[in-house]
Each structure stands twice: as structure tokens, then as C-alpha cells.
Amino acid sequence: MKQRGALIVALLATAAVCVQNAGVGMGIGWGVIHGAGPAALLFLVPLAVGLALLWTGYVLARRMNVRYMPVLFAVYALGILVVNEMVLPATPLNAWRTQRAIDAVEVTALRDEAFLTARGNPAGIRLTFEARFPQPLVGFVSASTFGPVDGKIPYPLQFGRLHQLLIEPTPPARGPYYAFQKDTVYRFTETTLPNFISYDERTQEPCFNIVTTPFREADFLDALARSGNVRYSTAIQIGTDEGPVSVVVQTYTTARAYDLSAMYQTIVQERARQCGP
């Protein structure tokens, strides 16, 4: 009876360990897609270690045949599950906690203005906003690419070049992410430039990104002349190491329109050089 109870615990714990490692399949797929080859099997190591510890403990418990074996083995199995939750980055429970933390984030005080060069000429869009984190969260917060509210524009005229992202106060870095503290309000300042402009903060000068094929220069100038004043929309998004998809927490439309022709004139008036490779 004791051995049967321990076996049931082992089987249930095995299922739980497999669920905790549900991201293994995604990790292996990611590794194969990116050319990792057999090295992608390294994603199986946490699962293999967890199951090995679990069933080794079960075999030893059977041989010892101690009193209250199912209870003691259940405590041992629970310990393995707790350790997994502490060391594995993407268990379902961790994902649920992270999603709750993301849902609780409050984004306020959104404001946009023209980003000006050192000479006072327009060269992009500067977006500021505040975010409060009721729960601690390790991740990143940023605005998505600015898109025109009405219609589409060709790639060279899109606002897809992130120039600068400032966060005050600066949270501690955790690899590619930040550790945002509980009940802290952070102020974000994000500057985005059209794809045909880059800006060197050291020299305080813009440069011109050459329009490449298949988009000809004549097409670029024609689209620029027809662009006019445009309002743009964006979305504040949060990403974590729990998954590759960012979560949109707030959408925003610029309060004013922006003239891409005026930004191109900045390049002309300041005699901007061609951007380097």
C-alpha cells in the first residue's frame, strides 16, 4: 500500500514536472530554426534532471521501505517542484504571475512633441509617458513603431528608427531587460526617427540614410511630397522573458500632426552627410 501511494505521487509529480517544462518544445523549435542543430537538445536538460531526481528518490524510498513513505516522498517531490519554479524561467505558474503583473501596470501622462536637432530643426517624434508597477516586473517597456492614422506610407518614410530611450529613475538591468520595482512610477522618454534619418548625439548632427532598391529615389521624393501633415498612432507594449510576444497595455494617437517634408528639409538645411555603414 505504501509503495502504491508513493507510485501515485511519483506519477503525479512527473506530470507536474512535464507541465513546468512545457516551454521545452518551444525552445527546441527556436534552436532548430536558428541553426542550433543538436545543441537545441540542451533545452531538455532541466526536464531530464528533474525527472532523474524524482525517480531516483522514488527508487531509494522503495528500497528503504520507511514508515510514512508516501508522505515523505510527497514532501521530496514537492521540493523538486518548488525548486523548478525558482530556477526555470517560463513555467505556467511564472507566466501567470507575470501576466498579472503586466495587467496591473498603469500607463499615464502620454505626450508627444517634435524631436529637434541641435539647430532647432524637426527630425523625429519624442514620446513621453509614465508607468506605475503595482507589482515587481522584469521586462521591457517601449512604444511600437509609429504608423499613420490614415493610410500607409512606404518604408523610408515610416518612423521605425528608435533613436533614444530614457527611463527615470533608471531601473537595474537584468540582461536585456529591466527590473521594475513595486509601486514605483517610471518616466519614459522615447525618441523615434523616420527611416531616412539618423542622429549622432555625440556630434549633434543628423545624417541621411540612402534609400535602397527596390524603392527608387524618385519614388521616395514623390512620396515625401505627397505625405503632408500626418498624425500617427502607436502602442505601449511590455515584453518579458516568458515569451516572444509583447503585450499591448495602452494605445495612443499623437496630439499633433508631423510633416515629413520638414524633416527632410532638416537634412538639406544642415547639409547632412550620408550615414555610414
C-alpha distances out from residue 222 to 20, 154, 217, Å:
55, 11, 9
Same-domain check for residues 129 and 265: yes
Residue found by looking up cell 500500500 in the block: 1
Number of domains in the chain: 2
Q: Are 140 and 263 members of one domain? A: yes
Distance CA 149, CA 236 (A): 16
Between 248 and 60, whose confidence is greater?
Answer: 248
Report pTM: 0.71
Q: Is 185 part of a structural domain of the chain?
A: yes
What pLDDT is recorded for position 253?
95
- CB neighbours (10 Å) of residue 232? 22
Tens of pLDDT, residue by residue over 182-228, are 999 999 999 999 988 999 988 889 998 876 556 677 777 788 888 87
My answer on whether 108 and 70 are in the same domain is: no
| Whole-number pLDDT of residue 213 | 52
pLDDT digits (tens, 9 = 90+) for 18-39: 777 766 656 555 555 555 555 5
Q: What is the mean pLDDT of the chain?
A: 82
Q: Pairing relation of β-strands 232-239 and 247-253?
A: antiparallel
Q: Is the pLDDT of residue 237 over 80?
A: yes
DSSP per-residue codes, 141-163: EEE--BEESSS---GGGSB-EEE
Q: Return the higher-pLDDT residue of 89 and 146.
A: 146
Report which of 133, 117, 137 is spatially closest to residue 239, judged by C-alpha positions: 137
Cα Rg for the chain, rounded, in angstroms?
27
Residue type, 84: N
247 vs 156, residue with greater confidence:
247
243: domain CATH number is 2.60.40
Most confident of 37-51, 107-121, 191-205: 107-121
The answer as to whether 106 is a domain residue is: yes
Give percent of the chain with pLDDT exceeding 70: 84
Question: Looking at residue 33, what is its pLDDT?
Answer: 56
pLDDT at 85 over 80: no
Q: Are residues 65 and 190 in the same domain?
A: no
- Rounded CA separation 23/125 (Å): 38
The yes-or-no verdict on residue 59 having pLDDT over 90 is no
In the predicted structure, residue 160 carries a pLDDT above the cut 80: yes
What is the Cα–Cα distance from 156 to 176, expressed in whole angstroms?
Answer: 28
- Boundary residue ending a domain (48, 65, 88): 88
Domain that holds residue 231: 100-274
In terms of pLDDT, which residue wins out, 19 or 113?
Answer: 113
